[in-house]
Structure 1
Amino acid sequence: MGTEPGNAHDNETTASQDRGCFICHNLKHPEDDDKNLVLWRTDNHLAILNRYPYNNGHLLIAPVRHIPDLTDLSDEELLEMTKLIRESQRALSLTIKPHGFNVGMNFGRCGGAGLPGHLHVHVVPRWDGDTNFMHVCGDTDVISQSLAELLGLLRQVSKEQNLPAL
């Protein structure tokens, strides 16, 4: 099938897929984690702040393997992804205190996926009344905190709370 780690076919296809995949690029460059807004790295996943957030604190959780669908995840990867969603909610709740969350995935271009080849989960903090004039009329979101500042705060909370606790 070409999705098992270490499979020669997987290695060949990964090289061609990585060129246009910012997640794969970020995985290969841990020295640029600050610039690439990486919050956490685990054996199986990466958690990063979305550079184009729907709301402040919008995180992406992606498997290390370049795969397009949930059906491609091992049970171990799926469990870890679910735990990272939980840990993301904990870190964001302690840091920016949202009133709620949207958690979701888009599969394929027609399903709204901006990066259809690399599975990822969106964890989006929400606040009562967070859809405002700028968003509705101007199709623009106003984020009141820099991504670098928020990344620093999330890393601090993660260290204090020993997150992610997998």
Structure 2
Amino acid sequence: MGDPGETVRQDGAGEGDGLDRLWTPHRLAYIRGENKPADATSGECPFCRVPELDDADGLVVRRGESVYAVLNLYPYAPGHLMVCPYRHIADYTETSPEEAEEMGLLTRQAMTVIRSVSGAGGFNIGMNQGAVAGAGISAHLHQHVVPRWPGDQNFMPIIGRTKTLPELLADTRDLLAAAWSI
């Protein structure tokens, strides 16, 4: 390629924008909304199906009594996981006292485990409640635990418009599951 500011044809159709491409075709399923529940039907829900799989296939890193921790298939950062109740509920106000308590416990444990294996410097933790609040899967409650490091919002996502994930999800799952202790 030429200079970054130079107009470059990427595919022969129209004028290019001069940006390099890292192809991530696996994300097309996410963009198309595949495997997202259409409504509140638990049988259509990936968060209901995951616990029925073995841990490695489902990317489950920890199972509790009423909630579990699972890696995000479309992570914002390495180690990005979610804490989900087994029960198909949409809103945090619907949790039982046991579910709410265990969500907090697994979130706290996830932070400890992720720090121990990756040296994360901080975390973004949160729930998007409802589609209008940004929940990609609004029919099943889930809390995001996103590890952060100094400088992780560097030129790659901001200027390079690229996210880098240096580890395969299966390897991240194995690492976190092995390090998790109560």
- How large is the RMSD of aligned CA atoms in angstroms? 1.6
Question: In the TM superposition, what is the alpha-carbon distance from 1:139 to its structure 2 partner?
Answer: 4.1
Structure 2 counterpart of 1:105? 127
Amino acid at match of 1:71: T
Where has structure 1 moved over 4 Å in runs of 4 or more?
none
Q: Which runs of 5+ in 1 are unaligned?
A: 1-12
Q: Is 2:88 the counterpart of 1:66?
A: yes
Of the structure 1 ranges 44-53 and 136-145, higher mean CA displacement relative to structure 2 is found in: 136-145
Of the structure 1 ranges 63-72 and 35-44, higher mean CA displacement relative to structure 2 is found in: 35-44
Greater percentage in helix: 1
The structure with the largest alpha-carbon Rg is: 2
Structure 2 counterpart of 1:26? 50
Question: Compared with structure 1, are the counterparts of its residues 79 and 109 closer, same or farther at alpha carbon in structure 2 (3 Å cutoff)?
Answer: same
- Report if aligned partners of 2:64, 2:102 keep a CA contact under 8 Å in 1: no
- Equivalent positions of 1:14-163 (< 5 A) are 16-19=41-44, 21-29=45-53, 31=54, 33-137=55-159, 139-158=161-180, 163=181
- Aligned pairs, how many? 144
Structure 2 counterpart of 1:8? none
Amino acid at match of 2:101: L
Counterpart CA distance in 2 for 1:52 and 1:22 is: 13
Q: Which runs of 5+ in 2 are unaligned?
A: 1-38
**Deviation by residue 1:54-109 (Cα, 9 ceiling, x = unmatched):** 01110100001010111100111111110111000011011111011110110111
**Deviation by residue 1:116-141 (Cα, 9 ceiling, x = unmatched):** 01000000000111012231245431
Counterpart CA distance in 1 for 2:122 and 2:151 is: 11
Amino acid at match of 2:112: R
Structure 2 length-normalised TM:
0.74
Question: In the TM superposition, what is the alpha-carbon distance from 1:53 to its structure 2 partner?
Answer: 0.5
- Report if aligned partners of 2:51, 2:58 keep a CA contact under 8 Å in 1: no
1:103 is paired with a residue whose SS is: strand
Structure 1 length-normalised TM:
0.81
2:146 is paired with a residue whose SS is: strand
Counterpart CA distance in 2 for 1:155 and 1:90 is: 12
Counterpart CA distance in 2 for 1:28 and 1:148 is: 17
